[in-house]
A and B are shown apart, each in its own frame.
Chain A
Amino acid sequence: MTMDPIDRQLLQDFQRDLPLVARPYAAMAERLGIGETEVIDRLDRLTNSGAVSRVGAVLRPHTVGASTLAAMAVPTDRLDSVAALVSAYPEVNHNYQRDHRLNLWFVVATTSAEAVHGVLDDIHQRTGLTVLNLPLEQDFHIDLGFELSWT
């Protein structure tokens, strides 16, 4: 993926404080010294290339719905099949292997705490493995976006 200095400025400077005006991309364009259409075209290209997830919001956790982080210690020879079983739940939105005895880590997000527990119980029943439930108790992060450094 090739990015020029304007792409980089677009990614660095507008991770927060999207202008809350009727034409936000025009307001961004003015600060970047380019046209509104060019801002839109660049965001479209960066979204298609995967560098941008979306122009949108990060919400305070648990504003809508309920979620948890779960961890399992999966025997190596079962990891692929258990990971596929977990990923198949629409309620699972992140699922990673990590290098630890607890080697499968995933996030369950759905409508209610009861529904979250239902998914965890179901995974436990189907795999016969213990599922550690590690719900968020307190959020300390001040989210200012991610500082990008270009080297």
Chain B
Amino acid sequence: MDLSDRDYALVTALCGGLPLTPRPFLALAHAVGMEEDDVIARLHSLSTAGIIRRLGVIVRHRELGYRANAMVVWDIPDHAVEDVGQRLGSCPEVTLCYRRPRRLPDWPYNLFTMVHGRDRTEVTGMIAAMAEREGLRNHRRETLFSTRRFKQCGAHYGQRQAAE
């Protein structure tokens, strides 16, 4: 499904967040020059098509007490990365799961997962249990905990837009 200019304007306006008013889609409709019914129908189609992954309340982990944030990186053979990626991507512990290129010799890892928890001990245990459960104990991996957050905000792709 290709995005029309109208869809592009709609998702761009939406990603700044819906207003907390009784008819938020009406406000969105006014912002992009559409009818309220059309906005709702379009959002339904974009969700069904998978362009909108999820529409709802977007929470901040750290502010809810999930202070340990680990990027777990895995060196998975290329022939297996799709299968392993799909399995890790559906694990309840994992909040993001992306394949990215290796940059040898600096960086041998090709699969990135994010795991959040209340503290490092909990997160380390979750990762070890997940590796065991998924049969990945013998694959090389590293866990990179964040130690400082210098900046976190929604992305601005030229117009108002945010991504997690």
Contact = CB atoms under 8 A, between A and B. Distances in A.
Contact of B157 (A14, A86, A109, A135): A109
A16 B56 contact: yes
Interface string A21-38: 111111000000000100
B60 A102 contact: no
Nearest to B42: A20
Contact of A96 (B26, B40, B148): B148
A87 B150 CA distance: 7
Contacts of B8: 64
Most chain-A Cβ atoms within 10 A of its Cβ — which of B56, B88, B96, B99? B56
A18 to B, nearest CB: 4
Interface string A49-67: 1111111111111011101
B156 A90 contact: yes
A56 B146 contact: no
Interface residues on B, range: 35 or more
A21 B40 contact: yes
Interface residues of A, number: 80
B100 A136 contact: yes
Interface string A120-151: 00000000001011111111111111111001
A45 B12 CA distance: 25
Interface string A66-110: 010101000000000001101100111111111110100111011
Interface string B94-108: 111111110100110
B82 A26 contact: no
Interface string B52-89: 11111111110110100101000000000010011011
30 contacts: A20-B43, A21-B40, A23-B22, A24-B24, A25-B20, A25-B22, A51-B63, A52-B60, A55-B20, A56-B14, A56-B15, A56-B18, A56-B162, A58-B55, A59-B52, A61-B98, A63-B51, A64-B8, A64-B157, A69-B112, A92-B151, A94-B152, A95-B149, A96-B147, A102-B107, A110-B156, A111-B158, A135-B100, A138-B98, A146-B116
